[in-house]
Amino acid sequence: MKVETGKFMLWAQDMDRAVAFYRDVFGLEPRFVNPHWSELAFGDAVVALHGGGTGELNLTGLSFQVDDADEACRLAREAGATIRNEPEDRPRECIRLADVVDPEGNGFAITTYIGD
């Protein structure tokens, strides 16, 4: 048996809105899109969206490391996300961290590496 890829699955209540959010905010490339299952990629990483979401808060464990967490949060907010915790420095972890909820209710983190 050979693993071909790993996918991080999120729920989507409105597939078009979900695809647009991850495409427009994070630049993920839509590779397959339909109302029931969509896949967006950045390099070898795949975020898969599954239809049937309810919009309820779903803490996912997903995290995007970006060069500017504040700018990423601004873009996410403009695209319909809720910022649960604004970016704050976490020196012990060497990151700037924000907690975000996408328009579908999926919670994820945005981080920026701030060095040691």
CATH number, residue 36: 3.10.180.10
Grade residue 78 by pLDDT with cuts at 50, 70 and 90.
very high
2 occurs within a structural domain: no
**What pLDDT does 54 receive?**
94
What average pLDDT score do residues 87-93 get?
A: 95
Question: Whole-prediction pTM value?
Answer: 0.91
Determine, yes or no, domain membership for 102: yes
List the domain range (segments joined by +) for residue 37. 7-113
Whether the per-residue pLDDT at 3 is higher than 80: the answer is no
If you average pLDDT over residues 50-64, what whole number do you get? 95
Instruction: Judge whether 1 lies within some domain.
Output: no
Q: Give pLDDT, residue 85.
A: 98
As for how many domains the chain has, the answer is: 1
How deeply is 56 buried, as exposed, middle or buried, from its count of CB atoms within 10 A (0-12, 13-18, 19+)?
A: exposed
Which tokens is 109 given?
A: 């983190």
H or E element at residue 93: none
